[in-house]
Every structure is written in C-alpha cells, then in structure tokens.
Chains A and B, each alone.
Chain A
Amino acid sequence: MASAREPLLTAHGVVKRFGHVQALSGADFTAYPGEVVALIGDNGAGKSTLVNVLSGVLSPDAGEVRLDGEPVRFSGPMDAQRHGVETVYQDLSLAPDLDAAANLYLGREILRGGLLGRIGVLDRPAMRREAVRAFAELGVELKDVTAAVTTLSGGQRQSVAVARAVAFAHKVIFMDEPTAALGVVQRARVLETVRRVADRGICVVLISHNMPEVLSVADRVEVLRLGRRVASYTAADTTIEELVGAMTGSLDGPNGGKEAEDGR
C-alpha cells in the first residue's frame, strides 16, 4: 500500500559518530504523509540520534535526508521548523513558569501592530485567543490559558507541548517517547491526539518502547538496531513477538522484516 504514495521524508545511509561511538551507521528511514510511523529499537539503537538528525538538532556525518523529494540539510531546529518539521521532546521543552499561551508561542510571539509592535510589545490577547483555539482543536480543555504551565497536570503539560508542535507543523512531527511518563487516561488522550494530527495529513513519527501502544496507534513500524534500519512493518500485519525479534536481532539476518522494503 505504501507504493502508491510518494514518501514525505526519507533518509538514506545516515551516519553519525560521537567520538568513537557510531550512533548511526548508515540508517535509512521513510515516512509518508498522513501516517503515524513508529520508530522502535533497543536502548542505544540510535532512535534519538536519528530523530535529532531529521529534526535539525544534529547534522549527519554522511547520508542524505529528503523532504518532499528535495534534499535538505537543516542548519538547526529553527531551520527544520521553517520547513514545517516540529519536535515534541521527551522532556517536553516547556518553560514551566510561563503560561500555556506563552509556551505555545515561545520564540514565535505575536506582536502588537504599529510602533508598539516594532519595540517588541506582545499582543497577549491575540496569543491567548489563538491558544484557546489551538487547544480546542486538539480536544484539550485548559481551564485557564493564563496559568503557569507548572500548575497543569502531566497530561495537560504533554498536551501543551503537542499543541505547540501541531500548531506550527505542516509536514512532520517527531515525538520522542511522548507517553513515557503518563497515566492510562492521559496516555490515551495523547494517542488520540496523535491520530487526529495524522488525519490532518501530517506525518507523526512516534518513538516508543511500549509495543501494544505502537501496534494500536501506528500505521507502520520501522525498527532500528545498532544504528541501522533492520526492518519495516505494516502495523496491522505484525505482532509484538515479531517486533521484539527484529529489535533484538534474534529473528535473523539482514532481511528480518517480511515487509522490509530496502531494509538490507
């Protein structure tokens, strides 16, 4: 089914070294618009490193990244954001003392018109209005957008971080273990949000160690081991045992995945 569509984001042969440690040794990655693709792998497999390369935090030592078929080389996270690529960091990356609206617009503040705007005066009413709208769109209820983020529950904080990515991404959102610290209810909400975002045509790349969660929310699963992609599955056609086998390498050699496209 993947063959019918053009991939939105691809990586080929990405290499990244940290001193003597080779975190990525020729990793590939493919993502299509409007899908949720899970990126899984053992601890140290290189998932975070790959996401950092794809989101402009790290620059690769070798390899190619293409967005919409065009080769790109992001100079930093801001550059990636300009291309419509957003990241929800594992630590959420929020300023806890600021309110939800301010966090949503951190670094992209809305300024007043005219002279006041020229000297950097914020248009808080506009930011709050937009924030309420953005949260509502995600089905998130915040009683008070002017409350400091620190006073919110873990799930609400998660929602603010997700809303921040969703509000500005028009292509790809990376989420590094977004549900790791959440309770059952909040986890369901975040996954619901992930689904809703993908349905708007945005590609969501989800890193997770939780296999049932991966199978329930993802359309496809890409498996990373020792710095390279070893398999790629359609979520509906695979099992937890198969995923674990591919992650640990117990299944086999180079062509573990039954749907491995170019997984070598």
Chain B
Amino acid sequence: MTAESEKAPAAVDSRAGVPDWLRRAATLNELWTFVILLALVVFFTIAAPGKFFTTYDITQIAVNAAIYLVLGVGMTFVIITAGIDLSIGSVLVLAAVAAGEYNIHHGGPASGWGTVAFSAVIALAVGTAWGALQGVVVATGKVPPLIVTLGGLGAALGIAELATGGQDPAGAASTHLQNSLGFGKVLGIPWMVILAAVVTAIFGAVLGSTRFGEHTLAIGSNPTAVRRAGIPVGRQLVKVYGLMGLLAGLGAVMWLASYGTTSIAGHSTDNLKVITAVVLGGTSLFGGRGSVLGTVIGVFIPAVLTTGLIVIGVQQYWQDVAVGVVLVVAVYIDQMRRKTRERA
C-alpha cells in the first residue's frame, strides 16, 4: 500500500525529509481515502469493462453527489470546530418547504424567473437563519452541539410538517428552475455539478487560506488558546453553523431543481451520509484538522460504490455495509493518531 500511495499525486510534496514522517502521517488519511477511491474506480472499470466509467456514469455519479458535496463542505467546517450538525436534512426540508410554498403562491410550476430567484433567496435565508440560531446556542457552551442540532433536527422537520400537513405540496418548483439548474448542461456538464464545484472551490480556499478558515481550525484545536488570543470564539461558531445552514438552504434549491418536490420524508439520513463522507475524507471528529478536498473524496466513495455495484449486478445494499466498515476504520485510525500525538 505504501508503494502505491507514493505514486499518488498528493504524496509528491510530503517527501521532503525523513524527520517529517509525522507530518506525512497527518496527511495520510486523505491519501488513504484517495487510494481507496482510485482502487474502487479501477476495480469497477475492470469488473465491468465498457460499462462502468462511461461518460454517462461519471455524469450521473457527479449529479447524485452534488447536493451531498455542498452539504459536506459546510459539515467540514462544523466538524473542524469539534462540532457536529445532525439537523442538515431537516433544515434542507424546511428551506425547501419555505421556498416551495412561496413558489406555489406565486405561479406554481409556471412561475417566472423573478419568483425563482426570490424563492431561492428564501431558501438560503431560512437555512442561514436556522443554522446561525443553532450556532448561537452552541456558542453559549451550555448545550453540546450534538444535542442542539438533534433538537434542531426535530424542530425544523416539525415546522415543515406543520406548514404542509406532512404532505409534499404540488407545484413547489418552477419549471424554469428545473430546466435550468435541474437538468441544464453547459458543454455537457450539468449545472448541478458546476454549482457544487464552484461552492467546493470557494470554501476550500476559504478554509485553506483565509483568516476565517484559520480561526475555524484553531477553535477545533484549542478553544481556550483562541479565546486568549482575543478571537471571538462564539461569533466564529455562529458564522460556521450559519454557513452550514446557508449550504443546507442551497441544497434545498438544488433538490427542488432536481426533483421538483420538497421530499419531506426523504432526508432523514442526510446527516449520516454527509458526516460519513466528511470523516472518510480525513476530517477529525475531535476537531482541529480537516480539508474540503478530503470531503470531496469522501463524498465520491459511496457514490462510486453505489453506481459500481449496480453496474456489476451486485445488490447495492452492500454499499451500506462497505461504507460502514470503512467509516469505523477511518475513525479508528484518527483515534490512534491522536493517542500517538498526545504521547509525543
């Protein structure tokens, strides 16, 4: 495996010197998952020659992954602060319902561009507000993020169900939205994929090279030190959870565009899927370390598995088994690394 990983492009810059072995280990998680992803692609390509890895498959995988990628980017920030957000699926539903209801009352499927734009703004605003509110509670330090967002999960879904009577309302999405963002392509690349890629690139850069990203990492690493350095930890947490909410709102717009309905009952496992992807991508559940690039890899592993298993004719439920096992191994490795580090 070591020989193989040395060949991977990500290994190039970490070969500087022998004493850097610990540093190399720090990037290992990302590398490992990349190797796993690569191995999966190679395996399915060989197992189903000419069937897997066709342009159609790649496009389909990317479209399916687009929403999870957008959510995963936000979750990366949250987990890096040593937090968690279980509410994302419900927040997505709530934002979709808010936007959908507006659309229904302003023309339904036939609504114009103005309505499309305004309902998108509503979705983003609802998501951001809900996320920031959870962030405020987390920032008080009195209730752990797990519980805050578990409460948020129930409450957001409940409000969405109250507003709709629990039924997905008809006419939630404009055909303009569906034909553009939903099914539209530029140079053969779906808009969904382009949007997800742009979001990923922007927030990857934010995490890696801005003060906002640096403070996010520092808070997860040692909140006391950050506080003593005069950085307002609470305000940063509100921003991070608000960002997660914003991206859940964007996820709602993308969902409406793709599927044309709010799917109230269809998002109860979004949180698990997204958290799995982020952790697979090497972001530490204990905070302080992680990358958006890792999350991209982590999102594509289940996506490739699902498509691949279907193509080679294996029950796709094996995907859940495989991802579950890999997830536990990934966290085990992370734990071990923490322990080694604390002894050092």
A positions within 8 Å CB-CB of B: 57, 76-78, 81, 87, 89, 91, 93-98, 102, 106-109, 111, 119-122, 124, 143-144, 147-148, 150-151
Question: Considering only CB atoms, which chain B residue lies closest to A78 in the complex?
Answer: B230
**With A95-B288, A98-B214, A143-B19: A76-B222 Cβ-Cβ less than 8 Å:** no
The reply to whether A148 and B218 contact each other, CB–CB distance below 8 Å, is no
Q: Are A151 and B225 also in contact (CB < 8 A) when A97-B289, A98-B217, A107-B230 are? A: no
Number of A-B residue pairs, CB cutoff 8 Å, is 81
**A108 — which chain B residues lie within 8 A by C-beta?**
229
Question: Could you write out 5 A-B pairs with CB less than 8 Å apart?
Answer: A89-B228, A95-B221, A122-B209, A122-B211, A143-B17
Interface contact B23-A95, CB-CB below 8 Å = no
Could you tell me how many residues of chain B have their Cβ less than 8 Å away from some Cβ of chain A? 28
| CB <8 Å contact, B226 and A107 | yes
| B22 (CB) vs chain A CBs: closest residue | A151
Minimum Cβ distance to chain B for residue A207 (Å): 17
| Main SS class of interface, B | helix
Asked if A120 and B210 make an inter-chain contact with CB atoms under 8 angstroms apart, the answer reads yes
Q: Which residues of A contact B23 (CB under 8 A)?
A: 144, 147-148, 151
Which residue of B26, B220, B229 contacts A148 across the interface (Cβ within 8 Å)? B26
Decide: A95 near B210, CB < 8 A? Known: A89-B228, A148-B23, A151-B23: no
- Inter-chain contacts of B211 with A (CB < 8 A): 109, 111, 120-122
Assess whether A147 is in contact with B209, with CB atoms less than 8 Å apart.
no
Which residues from chain B sit less than 8 Å from chain A, CB to CB? 16-17, 19-20, 22-23, 26, 209-212, 214, 217-218, 220-222, 224-226, 228-231, 288-289, 341, 344
Instruction: List 7 tightest A-B contacts by C-beta distance, closest first.
Output: A107-B229, A78-B230, A97-B288, A95-B221, A93-B225, A97-B221, A120-B211
A106→B210 contact, CB < 8 A = no
Set A76, A78, A93, A122: member contacting B224, Cβ < 8 A: A93
The interface residues of chain B lying within 8 Å CB-to-CB of A124 are 209
Q: How far is B18's CA from A144's CA once the two chains are assembled, in angstroms?
A: 12
User: Please, how many angstroms separate the alpha-carbon atoms of A89 and B225 in the complex?
Assistant: 9
